[in-house]
Each structure stands twice: as C-alpha cells, then as structure tokens.
Amino acid sequence: MTSAVEVSAQRLRERGERVTPARLAVVEVLAGTEEHLSAEQIGERAEQLRPGIHRATVYRALDALGEFGLVTHVHLGRAGTTYHLAGDLAPRHLHLRCSECGTVYDAPGDILESARKKLARDLGFHLAPEQVALVGTCNNCH
C-alpha cells in the first residue's frame, strides 16, 4: 500500500511543484494522527520529525498543500482552525463540536448526503459541510 506521503510527493511532482522536506513533514504529521491539529501543533510535530525545519516554513507548506488540494482545514469556532489530509488521502468525515464542553467528534462523511442532494436539486446550492464544524450538544452535556 502506498503511503499518504508517497502519494502526496507524486502528486506534487505531477503538478510541477517542489517536493520539500516541510511539505512532506506536514503530510507525515497529518497521516500519523486522528487528532484535530492546529497549524501550531503541526509545526511543533513537523519540527520534531525533521529538526531544522522552521515553523514559518511549515505554515507556508500548509498553505501550499491546501492550494494543491492535499490538505484541508475546518473551522471549529472557539476551538480554532484544524487541518487534515484531503480527498482520497483520508477518509471523508464531518466534524461535530459540542457547544457546551467544546469536544470535537468525527462523523461519517455521508451522513448529510440526502440533505446535500436535496439542496443541490431544489436550490442549486452545493453544500460543503466538511469545511465547518456542525455545532450542537453531545450526549454528556445534553
């Protein structure tokens, strides 16, 4: 099985983009966790993986990988913005954030599929719920 790092490197090459240590470190960090990591946390872990990589370089790598469709981000409200691998590099999922305790949960990516289809059919609107956290209360706080 090909790793997310190898696939990302290949896709960067196909686009004529540079395959840099910082870009690979970002993908490696994201591929190695199911946590919802901030840019700062990704920077810290990337520096541990590849000592000598500057944090600002990691932030630029995150931006570039986002532009190339390899990484995406989710706005979690008070919890800030978190990043994860995009497309076929990671399982499609949605984010649920409890408005009481702030816990973020992952939900199956197809859970809103009927609503997505209805909005597209009836209103011509193409929903992208992967970009935000759906807010409600969890079982513990309800």
**6 belongs to an annotated ligand binding site:** no
| 44 marked ligand binding residue | no
CA distances from 51 to 26, 58, 65 (A): 13, 12, 20
Task: Compute the distance between CA of residue 77 and CA of residue 69 in angstroms, rounded to an integer.
Answer: 23
Residue 17 is labelled as binding a ligand: no
Buried b vs exposed e over 83-116: b needs ≥16 C-beta within 10 Å? bbbbeebbeebbbbbbeeeeebbeeeeeebeeeb
Cβ atoms of 59 and 20 within 8 Å: the answer is no
Report whether 98 belongs to an annotated binding site: yes
Is 14 a known ligand-binding residue?
Answer: no
Binding-site residues from annotation for Fe cation: 113
Binding site listing: 98, 101, 113, 138, 141
| Residues of each annotated binding site for Zn(2+) | 98, 101, 138, 141
